[in-house]
Amino acid sequence: MRMRWYDRITNQKVLDRVNLTSIEATVLKTQLRWTGHVIRMDTQRIPRQVLYGELASGSRKQGRPKRRFKDQLKANLKWASLKPKELEPVASDRSSWRVETQTAANAFENDQRHHLEVSRARRHIPAAAPTPFQ
């Protein structure tokens, strides 16, 4: 690609040049695909039991709870504009679920790009000249 670190090329421009998506969008898409796969599994399978299971007993350490797979899944479903209650009917149809995951990953990528462009533009606004005291 003949890019050097001192060329000051943004990460987004590098991803555009090599025609790749960000790692965050790839992880989101993969997580949603895996969740659809687990939802379509038989109810006796261990991954499905773990996804739908609840802890009967136990204790936690003091402080903020650890982020679980389910917590991240709920956040990703927001990006996909899906409610957790609508998850099973949509994921049961493979072709529509594939379209949903692709759409969610594209929406996330576009939103992320827009956010980065706005942030970059905000940083590069020239400072206003100070007004003299009167």
Does the residue 72 lie in any domain? Answer: yes
Question: 74 lies in which domain range?
Answer: 10-52+67-120
Q: Are 39 and 91 in contact (CB under 8 A)?
A: yes
Residue 93 has pLDDT above 70, yes or no: yes
Span 101-120, pLDDT tens digits: 999 899 988 888 898 888 88
> DSSP label at 80?
T
Residue 32 lies in a domain: yes
Asked whether residue 60 is assigned to any structural domain, the reply reads no
Q: Is 15 exposed, middle or buried (0-12, 13-18, 19+ CB in 10 A)?
A: middle
pLDDT band at 53 (very low <50, low <70, confident <90, very high): confident
What is the per-residue pLDDT for 56? Answer: 76
Domain for residue 127, yes or no?
Answer: no
134 confidence band (pLDDT: 50, 70, 90) = low
pTM of the model: 0.76
Q: Alpha-carbon distance 116 to 111, whole Å?
A: 9
Q: For residue 28, tell me if it sits in a domain.
A: yes
pLDDT tens for each residue of 15-50: 888 888 889 889 999 999 999 999 999 999 999 998
Is residue 40 in a domain? yes
Counting the structural domains of the chain, the total is 1
- Per-residue confidence band for 94, with pLDDT thresholds at 50, 70 and 90: very high
Report yes or no on 133 lying in a domain: no
DSSP 8-state secondary structure symbol assigned to residue 121: H
3, part of any domain = no
Q: How far is the first Cα of the chain from the last one, in angstroms, to the nearest whole number?
A: 55
